[in-house]
Amino acid sequence: MPSSLWPYVTPGIPDELFERLPGIPMSQREIRLLLLSYLRLESDSVLWDVGAGTGTISVEAGLLCSQGHIIAIERDEEVASLIRRNCDRFGVTNVEVVEGSAPDCLKDLPRRPQRVCITGGRSVKAILLEVWQHLPSQGRVVATATSLESLYQLSESFAELQVRNVEVVQSTINRLEKRGMNQVFTASDPIFVLSGEKLE
């Protein structure tokens, strides 16, 4: 059920409505919209959100997948607590927060995913390789790359795993901000979104 903070069925919760911690990454609203669209969620999807950070993807997915189950994986206890608080803010009850370091903790997760979102983690290649073992046929994976190194690792892994129906988009967001008497466009850091399916 939508909360009073965000009473809409449309995704795209404004960034400022989330509780945040200094230095903890957060997927900006425009990037979240891209990720959610490439995940192709269904009402009962099981989603692993690897490197959940502030929990924005988990919250939005939890609202969209009313009969689904979202598992937010975060290695830091304080950040995991932040995800739980953000779920409470928006009345999301179908998100399970798992404190653990990926890829090691993935093999012990209670539910097999149909969708996986990878936006964090120390070794994106190792995470993707482990995720692939649990993803069923027709399952989808969506991952972000913010550096040349992570883009290379993801591209190489997609090729090795023979990921199908691969899509890659590079997003550059500009937001209008007020500076003194003027309104100027401020660019966000560019990000690559890679997505594909497991077909067996």
**Which domains, from first to last, does the chain contain?**
28-197 (3.40.50.150)
Q: What is the pLDDT of residue 140?
A: 98
Peptide bond into 7 cis (omega under 30): no
Q: What is the pLDDT of residue 2?
A: 60
Q: What is the pLDDT of residue 199?
A: 92
Residue 81 CB partners (closer than 8 Å, separation 6+): none
Write a three-state SS string for the chain. CCCCCCCCCCCCCCHHHCCCCCCCCCCCHHHHHHHHHHHCCCCCCEEEEECCCCCHHHHHHHHHCCCCEEEEEECCHHHHHHHHHHHHHCCCCCEEEEECCCCHHHHHCCCCCCEEEECCCCCHHHHHHHHHHHCCCCCEEEEEECCHHHHHHHHHHHHHCCCEEEEEEEECCEEEEEECCEEEEEECCCEEEEEEECCC
Mean pLDDT by 10 residues, the chain (200 residues): 80 95 91 96 97 96 96 95 97 96 92 94 89 96 94 95 96 87 87 94
Q: What is the pLDDT of residue 81?
A: 97
